Amino acid sequence: MKRTFTLLLFFAVTLVFAQEDAWISLTDKPNVAASIANPISILTQKAIDRKQNHSVAIDERDVPVNETYISNLKSQTGITVLAKSKWFNAVHVRGTEDNINSLSNLSFVENIDFANQNLDTSSRGTVRLDKTAIENETIAFTYGDTQNQVEMINVDQLHLSGFTGEGMTIAVMDAGFPNVNTMAAFQRLRDNNDLLDGYDFVDRTSAIYAFAGSNHGTKVLSTMAGFIQDQYVGTAPDASYYLFRTEDPGSENPVEESYWVEAAERADSLGVDMINTSLGYTVYDNSNYSYTPDDMNGQTTYISKGASIAAEKGILVVVSAGNSGATEWQTVGSPADSPNVLSIGAVNANEDYVSFSSQGSTAQVGYQKPDVVARGGAAYVIDEFDNIVQNNGTSFSGPIMCGGIASLWQAIPDVLPTEVMNLVRQSASQFTTPDDFLGYGIPDLDVARTMALSLDESELERIQLFPNPVKSYLHIEIPSNFNQVEVSIYNQLGQEIFNQIVTKHSKTIDVSNYTSGFYMMKVSTENNSKTFKIIKT
């Protein structure tokens, strides 16, 4: 009987791994020009406004995937459609190798990219890493406050100045958010209507607050949004939050990367300012799908490429570095390996590196990982039963920093996402001597605010723009101490329609051919920029 059971188990495992995962790239999209010309048909007004404010163009990547193509794929023999991406114009499918390859006969299929690269990946890892093993070890059940983890990055000074994340919108991508809708720790969030919405991309349901195998997302959210009077304050208690489940704790499969990209696209369409993700992808249950440490170069994994597009879209992406520092893997995972995201490592209460925090490596060529660090050793979090506990993990240093940056960004709203990231790095404790353990070190977010406000601020305020509203010619007067400035004008779609380096102290721009309406002008120096609203009559 035991032998029969073993054979049945063998055949069952063989059948499971006969199913392959692949990304199917599609040839085109419907109504691209019309959609871009009428962006409200594909994006929310908040998303359009954010793109305008950050000078991000609305392009073909914002147009949804052709649903007719998806329906056709679903009807193919042996094919299951698991996720879709408008940014990549691709669909994640599962089926046998032969069934997936047969999709190449469809006229709208441009390319097939198997998760099992070339179906020959003997060099890839074979051991699955438990990403949350360290984090699930509750060090102590204790009541306390977050004073150390807040003061460490000096976000308490921002709070004292009235900057608590209000007006900032954060999308949290994680494994599960049980009881967030009923917990006392999030009562302030709900009372202020800052718990906006959510979706479970794994189970395809809006029941985001049900237990789905993990309380990880609830703990992550608590470090930013948790509030218990006189006991616990998160780093951005007054920010607004979307909650998206993209991680399936029961298995490890590359479809989770696709879920993440779908959620990032949804976040972009909703106009979020920031994405926080305490997830990382390295090796999979099927070792044929696994990556190697050398693949952590910001250009290989689907999720890292998706995170880079999110950054291009004007979203500031904050990612936990990972908990592999003391393992054979050692280096940061994806998407923390992307040079376009802010990757957060971990230190303890004494500001010392903790051994589990994933490190930078030679795979990241020309850029530093992690970027900065915050407290992830014995960090204070709140579980789904409203208990304040202490857990280890970069999963918590990441959102602690994300919330802090949200409060910082509220204080300097005109600064671009890339500039915010640079200010955070420049304010850190070892900015001039970064290493692979702490990156640039522990940021001082109040110093970052001071730096932003001091960079040419007083001089930029002296720029004069007239007349406004304008009919034909717009005149710009620039302070004489500026050697040159860059002047850019953007239309209502966020598209740049004028760009010129101005070296004189006055400039006249002919706008007589511009259509009537609202435009944005950005005047930039080497260190700062100022944005003006222009009304063309």
The question of whether 216 is a catalytic residue gets the answer yes
Give the pairing of strands 274-277 and 240-245: unpaired
Please state, in angstroms and rounded to a whole number, the distance separating the CA atoms of residues 315 and 313. 6
Give the pairing of strands 140-141 and 388-391: antiparallel
| Domain chopping of the chain, boundaries | 2-119, 140-454, 458-536
The question of whether 268 is a catalytic residue gets the answer no
Q: In CATH, what class is 140-454?
A: alpha beta
Among 21, 62, 156, 174, which one carries the catalytic annotation? 174
Q: Which tens digits make up the pLDDT trace of 117-148?
A: 876 344 444 456 666 666 766 543 233 589 99
* Per-residue confidence (pLDDT) for residue 55, from 0 to 100: 81
DSSP string over 100-163: HHGGGGSTTEEEEEESSGGG--TTS--S---TTTTTT---EE-----HHHHHTTTHHHHHHTT-
Among 216, 222, 436, 446, which one carries the catalytic annotation? 216
* Per-residue confidence (pLDDT) for residue 27, from 0 to 100: 94
CATH architecture of 458-536: Sandwich (2.60)
Buried b (16+ CB within 10 A) or exposed e, 79-103: bebbbbbbbbbbbbbbbeeebbebb
The question of whether 123 is a catalytic residue gets the answer no
Give the pairing of strands 195-200 and 464-466: unpaired
For the structural domain made of 2-119, what CATH number should be given?
A: 3.30.70
Please state, in angstroms and rounded to a whole number, the distance separating the CA atoms of residues 525 and 448. 18
Closest CA to 361 of 443, 299, 268, 294: 294
* Per-residue confidence (pLDDT) for residue 457, from 0 to 100: 58
* Per-residue confidence (pLDDT) for residue 339, from 0 to 100: 97
Among 222, 361, 395, 407, which one carries the catalytic annotation? 395
Q: Spell out, as residue ranges, where the chain has pLDDT lower than 50.
A: 1-16, 120-126, 139-143
Q: Which residue has the tokens 């602690």?
A: 400
